[in-house]
Structure 1
Amino acid sequence: MSTEPLGRALLICARNAIGERFGVAALPVSSLAELAEPAATFVTLTQNGRLRGCVGSLEAHRPLADDVAENAVAAAFRDRRFAPLSARELPRTRVEVSLLTPPEPFPVRSEAEALDRLRPGIDGLILSCGHRRATFLPQVWESLTDPRQFLAELKLKAGLPADFWDEQLTLARYGAQKWKEN
């Protein structure tokens, strides 16, 4: 199956979920079997190319359509980095949906090994250490092109120093297929 119909359906699901909060009429969504399958997604909102919200699931735990709808609402109204989206902002807000592959352990013995094995532009990365956890989607490589900077910023996002490394730190990587509104 072509991914275009799926991508269109996911973007509509996300926009419908946000629009529903403002009383905007829902657009029809194709009835694709994939929408009922468990999947993990992230929904990213931008305005004029700048981040306006991003929330997602790292592991599949609900049907794809539900995951997208829930993450879209969370990105619009519950991303702690931003005030809740207003109805006035909705027309200038662009939606992007990322469909994640299951995370795979990415065992490394050192930061140098991690940097050597990272695949810029391909790998999404989950960093965990104790109760701290953070992720960057593969598309973050578009703005953080250097693996050293990518990993340093991910550590900062997790609340760790940029130069932190510990044997308790674990990494997992995943891929993503994304669709974005024009």
Structure 2
Amino acid sequence: MPSTDSRFTQEQRRALLDLARASIRHGLDHGRPLPVDPETFDPALREPGAAFVTLHRAGQLRGCIGSLEARRPLVEEVSHHAFAAAFHDPRFPPLMRGEYPELDLELSIIGPAQALQFRDEADLLRQVRPGVDGLILEEKGQRATFLPTVWESLPEPADFLAELKRKAGLPADYWSDRIRISRYTTESFQ
């Protein structure tokens, strides 16, 4: 449910969700994301923004692609990431036309990342806010992130961090004084 400090109105959220769905439909028909003219959208949606588009089908993950840093207008991000989640997530085959009506879309607008300072893994785990924080792990040239929604399937901080390490290509019990962790929040809606 939207929080009282939502950045976007219901109309803006609907416009972004409609755009994501239209870009996937355009991808089925033309093999590329829907071209977007930011000037035709609400000014708040033209601002640079970072976002992830997550697709589910029958309650199962079907694709998730996004960016952690705002580099272009939010509407362009949403269009490109919706297309990429449907057709270029390396974990899944490209979306088939028959799957489209069964898709559930979720958008997660990414807030700024904040580097965490910690002495060791236990100190880090005490600082993490389950259900609130998305985490970015960086180590040995590897980088991985989990959105806050991942807490639904990994509610324990130690498990969340262990799986994030695995996603980064590291052993679940890996630790180093050079490991870097940042957190961010999202405004998510479907």
Q: Same fold (TM over 0.5)?
A: yes
1:22 is displaced (CA, Å) by 2.3
Match of 1:76 among 62, 79, 86: 86
Match of 1:32 among 5, 23, 42: 42
1:125 is displaced (CA, Å) by 0.3
1:7 is displaced (CA, Å) by 1.2
Match of 1:53 among 42, 45, 63: 63
Q: In structure 1, how many angstroms separate the alpha carbons of the residues matched to 2:130 and 2:8?
A: 26
Q: How many residues align?
A: 177
Q: Does 1:150 align with 2:156?
A: no
Provide Cα deviations, 1:80-135, integer angstroms capped at 9, x if missing partner: 00000011110001111000101111121211011101000000000000211100
Where in structure 1 are there 5+ consecutive unaligned residues? none
Q: Does 1:117 align with 2:119?
A: no
Q: Residue 34 of structure 1: SS of its match in structure 2?
A: helix
Structure 1 equivalent of residue 115 of structure 2: 105
Q: Does 1:17 align with 2:27?
A: no
1:23 is displaced (CA, Å) by 3.3
Q: Does 1:137 align with 2:147?
A: yes
The percentage of counterpart residues that share the same residue type is 48
Q: In structure 2, how many angstroms separate the alpha carbons of the residues matched to 1:113 and 1:58?
A: 24
* Closer/same/farther in 2, CA of residues 16 and 71 from structure 1, 3 Å limit: same
Q: Does 1:171 align with 2:175?
A: no
Q: In structure 2, how many angstroms separate the alpha carbons of the residues matched to 1:40 and 1:31?
A: 17
Q: In structure 1, how many angstroms separate the alpha carbons of the residues matched to 2:8 and 2:154?
A: 30
Q: Residue 94 of structure 1: SS of its match in structure 2?
A: strand
Q: In structure 1, how many angstroms separate the alpha carbons of the residues matched to 2:74 and 2:118?
A: 32
Q: CA RMSD in A?
A: 1.7
Provide Cα deviations, 1:112-160, integer angstroms capped at 9, x if missing partner: 0111010000000000002111000011111110000000000000000
Q: In structure 2, how many angstroms separate the alpha carbons of the residues matched to 1:140 and 1:53?
A: 14
Structure 2 equivalent of residue 8 of structure 1: 14
1:2 is displaced (CA, Å) by 5.4
Where in structure 2 are there 5+ consecutive unaligned residues? 1-6
TM-score, normalized by length of structure 1?
Answer: 0.93
